[in-house]
Amino acid sequence: MVGHVFDSVALKYDLMNDIMSAGLHRLWKDRLVSKLNPFPGMKHIDMAGGTGDVAFRILDAINRIESKPMHHAGDDLQEEAQIYVCDINPNMLHVGKKRATERGLGEDKSLFWLEEDAESLRFGDNSMDGYTIAFGIRNVTHMEKALAEAYRVLKPGGRFLCLELNRVEIPVIRELYDLYSFTVVPAVGKLVTGDRDSYQYLIESIRRFPPQETFASIIEEVGFKNVEYENILGGVVAIHSGWKL
């Protein structure tokens, strides 16, 4: 069912994100990448990242570091960054590759586009410096398995970051948010993509997602340390963080 949802919305996915969040998802992703603190030569997985939105930001951050005057010539001898854009849906990856080409990144040697299952990654143990997942963890079938895989592939010292929509606990904001979510979003989804049901599912999946404290506990249970989260817009979205130590 989830596969069908993303087959349906892939071509208009980023446009709908702009409409649904009034463009704020861009700022949320900027914040996610700033917390990641990318660096030259890093190996990173962006899971459920098919359209490339987060990966492009990571690559831009690395390129800014490499273009600074303080960047020494000898630093160029290190390995190139490897950013693996992973998604279980090939249509989402197709959109991302097309966007990369439009940005002049079609042949970039740091970007890799892979069809991957978050619950069974084809990467070695202790092989990645970072792992991000934005608006994707609530769509995996077994969340604990996906988190355990993230922990497995990260190196000691590696960081897990998850950007996700949440249930809002502040009553006034929650009432307005629910009205907007269940009334406006599916209607706009139908208008823009011709598919109301997929956006109805996406909203319902947010309501089924565990509260921030519960999700933080699940992250800890798979082994991550120094787990914390940052609420944004009163908890409409949160960025969860954990370290493999």
In whole angstroms, give the CA distance from residue 47 to residue 88.
9
In whole angstroms, give the CA distance from residue 45 to residue 158.
11
Residues annotated in a binding site: 51, 87, 117-118
Beta strand 225-232 with 128-134: parallel, antiparallel or unpaired? unpaired
Determine whether 22 is exposed, middle or buried from the number of CB atoms within 10 Å of its CB (0-12, 13-18, 19+): exposed
Structure tokens at 234: 């009163």
Residues annotated in a binding site for S-adenosyl-L-methionine: 51, 87, 117-118
What lies within 8 Å, CB to CB, of 42 at 6+ separation is 62, 81, 82, 129, 130
CA dihedral of residues 242, 215, 170, 21 (deg, nearest 10): 70
Sign of CA dihedral 133, 206, 148, 217: positive
In whole angstroms, give the CA distance from residue 185 to residue 124.
40
